Every structure is written in structure tokens, then in C-alpha cells.
Amino acid sequence: MATLKFLLERSPTPLGEMLIVTDEQGLLRALDWGDHEADMLRLMRNQYHKDTVDLQETRRASSAMQAMLAYFDGDLTGIDQLPVLTGGTDFQRQVWAALREIPCGSTISYLELATRIGKPLAVRAVGMANNANPISIVIPCHRVIGSNRTLIGYGGGLHRKRWLLEHESEYRQGRLI
């Protein structure tokens, strides 16, 4: 068993306190909300279950933090190239990679996502992988909606999902650059 040392940053956003976890190489490992910190820690323990996770708070703004603050200010594409590294299963990582392919300002259903990864019968498993996503927004699980086009399932709360989709929709319509 190894000890994984990560840096934890906190920042206010229009949606509440944002938590960003990066490793010593600057790779984004987790992004969540202050009111969901316990859930974030649980997800990280589940993903790195063979290792001990050591979070050290820092005030130094990582490139991930800078990109996220720019995202909230309207530069939505800066997060597309952020380097991430996750734990999880091969299937989860496959789902998370597919999530990063959903264009900003767009949504797809869980069924569409399952079909994109070649497993149209795995809708429920895709939903569970979405729920275990450790890197909110950057791995855009908020862009996945119900087949009936309703907002369902978002670990950070539906109010955040709605805000993020509206924020990105404004970008898509050319109102933000």
C-alpha cells in the first residue's frame, strides 16, 4: 500500500465553494463542492482503495484552478484540455472518457452514452459510473440527462446541474467567449 499525496484547493464560485484536488505533477484528480467534501473523500477512497490518500491544503492556484475560475467567467473551453488522472475501473474510465467527448452546451441521455461506448444495454451501469465520477464539470457528467430530456441525477445537486447547463448554453449560443 502506498500513500498518494494530493493538494487540495478551495475557491468561491457562483455555485458555492469549489474543491480541486491535484497531484504533485499538476494532474487533476478530483473536483467537487464544499458541501459535498465527505462524498468526495469517499469517492477518492473507493477509487484508490489500495492506497492511502493524503490531502494537503494549499493556497497556490494550480492550472486546474485557474482554468475552472476562467470557466465560471465564461471561458468554457479552457477546461477541455486539462490533464486528469482517475482511479476507478476500466469501465468507469471508459464512461468518463466518453463524457469528455460531449461538446460544451450539449446534452445526451444515459442511453445515448451507453450506446456511444458500445454497451447500449448497460444504461444502469453507465449511470452508476457517472455517479462515481470524481472530477465534476471537467468530466462533464452534468451533460447527461434522462431519455425524456429531464434533469436527473447529479451528485452536486440538480440546482448546480441546471446552472451549469444554462451557463454552457449561453456559451453555445455565442453570448459568452
Give the confidence band of 177 by pLDDT, cuts at 50, 70, 90.
very low
Mean pLDDT of 62-90: 93
Read off the pLDDT of residues 137-176 as tens digits, 9 standing for 90 and up: 999 999 999 888 888 878 888 999 999 999 999 876 665 4
| Contacts of 10-19 spanning 24+ positions with Cβ under 8 A | 10/34, 10/57, 11/65, 11/68, 11/69, 13/68, 13/69, 13/72, 14/72, 14/163, 15/156, 15/160, 15/163, 15/164, 16/160, 18/68
| Active-site annotation, residues | 141
Arithmetic mean of pLDDT, 107-124: 96
Whether the full predicted model's pTM is greater than 0.75, yes or no, is yes
Residue 4's DSSP bridge partners are 53
